[in-house]
A and B are shown apart, each in its own frame.
Chain A
Amino acid sequence: MVYIESWDEFVDRSLQLFRADPQSSRYVMKYRHCDGKLVLKVTDNREMTTHIDRFYDGAIDLKDMFFITSDVLDMKGHFDKLLVIMLLLSCLKFKTDQAQDAKKMEKLNNIFFTLMVRGPDADISEASSKEQMEQQASKKGRGRRQ
């Protein structure tokens, strides 16, 4: 379970985690109005042991994992490297008290809705809600099938 500092990194890793296991992964938002806090979590619901087993079975190849940087790959301690990767794989979290992050979260919400309904291979066009409304309006006007 790791709190990720950078929003963009959180988004990239979350999408990677979801795509690796779309059946088991979920995206959770927790909001506390009294504290002014927002926490986001993406997890694939697996215990760390599952990831370790998959690693030793060769199901996970560290070099192919897009966001494993070279400094992690070069780590001498095999167990330490494993721990870092497994922690990043099973549960990702992002916490904030900033209003601007709520706006960023809205885009991530839209991405997850699209991926979950259409499938992990769906094309994520970063259409804002305004663009979608315009598309729907134009479709109605021209009488196109949906």
Chain B
Amino acid sequence: MVLLQPDPFLNELTSMFERSTEKGSIWVTLKRSSMKCKATRNKMETSGQPIEYRCLVRATDGKKTISTSLSAKEYQKFQASYATVLKAHMNALKKRERKDRKKTVEPEKKQDSSKSNSSKKRALSTLKPSK
């Protein structure tokens, strides 16, 4: 597992996406972590030291794994760049076909309105002779 700085991590993640278009998967995992082992954490807790938590981000293509950790100061910039990377590469998902929906809905509406108009006409025609 390679621990990288945030920017190199994003670059490598981009490469992973580019390599995995034909086949394969990309996993990205987010986890809260102090980046310290349990023994150190317990010592810090008992001595009353505040533990600084970070966000651990891991990414893998099944073969290679990379990671980075974000502090409170870094994470907002990272999340914006991360969103850009995802938007650029996750474009194999289906988009809503609104045009097709409109085509199927409109003729139905026309048919319904023509039916209702004819029924209204019949109702009016029955009313008129009563005058």
Interface size class of A (residues with CB under 8 A): 35 or more
Q: A26 at the A/B interface (Cβ < 8 Å)? A: yes
Q: Does B93 lie at the interface of the complex (its beta carbon under 8 Å from any beta carbon of A)?
A: yes
A-B contact count (CB 8 A): 111
Does A106 contact B30, Cβ atoms closer than 8 Å? no
Q: Are A26 and B31 in contact (CB under 8 A)?
A: yes
Q: Does A146 contact B (CB under 8 A)?
A: yes
Known A-B contacts A30-B26, A102-B93, A112-B30; the reply to A117 vs B75 at CB < 8 A is: yes
Tell me whether A132 and B76 are in contact (CB under 8 A): yes
Interface SS majority for chain B: mixed
Look across to chain B and name the residue whose beta carbon is closest to the beta carbon of A34.
Answer: B23
Q: Check A33/B20 contact, CB under 8 A, given A99-B93, A100-B96, A117-B54.
A: yes
**Chain B, Cβ-Cβ closest to A122:** B72
User: Is B21 an interface position by the 8 A CB rule?
Assistant: yes
**Which chain A residues lie closer than 8 Å to B32 at the CB level?**
22-23, 25, 115-117
- Mask for B78-115, Cβ within 8 A of A = 1, else 0? 11101100110111111110000000000000000000
Docked complex Cα distance between A102 and B26 (Å): 14
In the complex, chain B residues whose CB is within 8 Å of the CB of A132:
76, 80
Chain B positions within 8 Å of A34 at CB level? 21-24, 92
A36 partner residues in chain B, CB cutoff 8 A: 92-94
Q: Is there a chain B Cβ closer than 8 Å to A113's Cβ?
A: yes
Digitize A109-146: 1 where CB-to-B-CB distance is under 8 Å, 0 elsewhere: 11011111111000000000100110010000000001
**Closest CB in chain B relative to A145 CB, distance in Å:** 12
Other 11 A-B pairs with CB < 8 A, given A33-B89, A99-B93: A25-B31, A34-B92, A96-B93, A98-B93, A99-B91, A117-B55, A117-B71, A129-B79, A129-B80, A129-B83, A146-B73
Q: Give residues in B with beta carbon < 8 Å to A.
A: 17, 20-32, 53-55, 70-73, 75-76, 78-80, 82-83, 86-87, 89-96
